[in-house]
């Protein structure tokens, strides 16, 4: 999880989101395979308990900067 920094609430501001959940995979095939996993279905079924709005999904690739 990546939570909003406290400064995001400064001066009475309300951030659009409180945080972002991250999932990391070795490759895109692993992403596809995860959709069939029991644990994935369990987590998706639990989302209404802690998410108030549908969240966008973003796929990104890690690039190391050295």
**Is residue 54 situated within a structural domain?**
no
Q: Are 3 and 18 in contact (CB under 8 A)?
A: yes
Contacts of 65 (CB under 8 A, 6+ apart): none
Query: Where is average pLDDT lowest: 22-31, 35-44, 47-56?
Result: 47-56
- Verdict on whether the full-model pTM lies above 0.85: no
Mean predicted confidence (pLDDT) in 30-59: 82
**Is residue 62 situated within a structural domain?**
no
Mean predicted confidence (pLDDT) in 62-66: 85
Instruction: Give, for 46, the enclosing helix (H) or strand (E).
Output: helix 38-46
Domain count, the chain: 1
| Per-residue pLDDT at 7 | 92
| Per-residue pLDDT at 58 | 82
Instruction: Give, for 33, the enclosing helix (H) or strand (E).
Output: helix 28-34
Domain enclosing residue 41, as ranges: 2-49
């Amino acid at each position: 999880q990546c939570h909003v920094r406290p400064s995001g609430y400064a001066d009475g501001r309300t951030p659009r989101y409180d945080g972002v959940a991250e999932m990391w995979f070795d490759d895109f095939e692993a992403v596809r395979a995860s959709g069939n996993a029991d644990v994935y279905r369990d987590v998706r079924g639990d989302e209404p308990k802690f998410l108030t709005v549908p969240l966008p999904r973003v796929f990104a690739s890690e690039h190391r900067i050295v």
